Amino acid sequence: MAISMTHLFVTIMLLAAHTALAETNMLQDLCVADLKGSKVNGYPCKDPSQVTPEDFYYMGLANAADTSNTSMGSAVTAGNVEKIPGLNMMGTSMSRIDYAPGGLNPPHLHPRASEAIFVLEGSLFVGFLTTSGKLISKHVNKGDVFAFPRALLHFQQNPNKTPASVIAAFDSQNPGTQSVGPSLFGANPPIPDDLLAKAFSLGTNDIQNIKGKFQPKK
């Protein structure tokens, strides 16, 4: 009897999991994001009668962004659901990243998406780290594609004397970005100095100096 009840419980759980997975799929043609609506896990659907072609259109990736006022010499222009409401529930988005000569898109991760970049102009040194600490890296040139697995630390560097640009594709309408430096040393409220000092084998004065680089300028 115990075995039968166990089998019944497992069967019910598997059916529930299958149903939950099925319900994450679109049950209608489209769900244009109502950006003014209450955000729970994504955006609610806009009234279909109010949908326009502009909900699916965006020209923000056409031109290079200004990298001169960035500390890292790179600029990201997002084409996610907040810029293209029609992407809501589609599980896809794009960005453009521009790099000044010597520019860097510093180590970061996307918690909700894998990423693939297509090099528009120039050449880059790119790579990601596995959870075992192995660096997978390569020099890529115009026309090349390189993929970064979901939620793994990765970077792109332009080691050249000419600008570079890529188009990045994500398998999420809102992939999210978490950069290592700002997350650890610019957290609000701040992570205790002694904790970071121990984690990085540094003195607390060193940690305070590093934090100073990530604090908002007054």
Binding residues for Mn(2+), by number, are 108, 110, 115, 154
Omega of the bond leading into 189 within 30 degrees of 0 (cis): yes
Laid out side by side, the sheet with 123-129 consists of 135-141, 123-129, 154-157, 104-109, 178-179
Tell me the binding residues for oxalate. Answer: 105, 110, 115
Tell me how long the chain is.
Answer: 218
Burial class (CB in 10 A: 0-12, 13-18, 19+), 37: exposed
SS3 state of residue 112:
coil
Class of residue 74 by CB neighbours under 10 A (exposed 0-12, middle 13-18, buried 19+): buried
Strand partners, 166: 97, 119
Which segments within the chain are labelled E, that is strand?
74-79, 93-99, 104-109, 115-121, 123-129, 135-141, 145-148, 154-157, 164-170, 178-179
The candidate with the shortest Cα–Cα distance to 158, out of 78, 63, 66, 73, is 73
Annotation: binding site: 105, 108, 110, 115, 154
Amino acid at 146: F
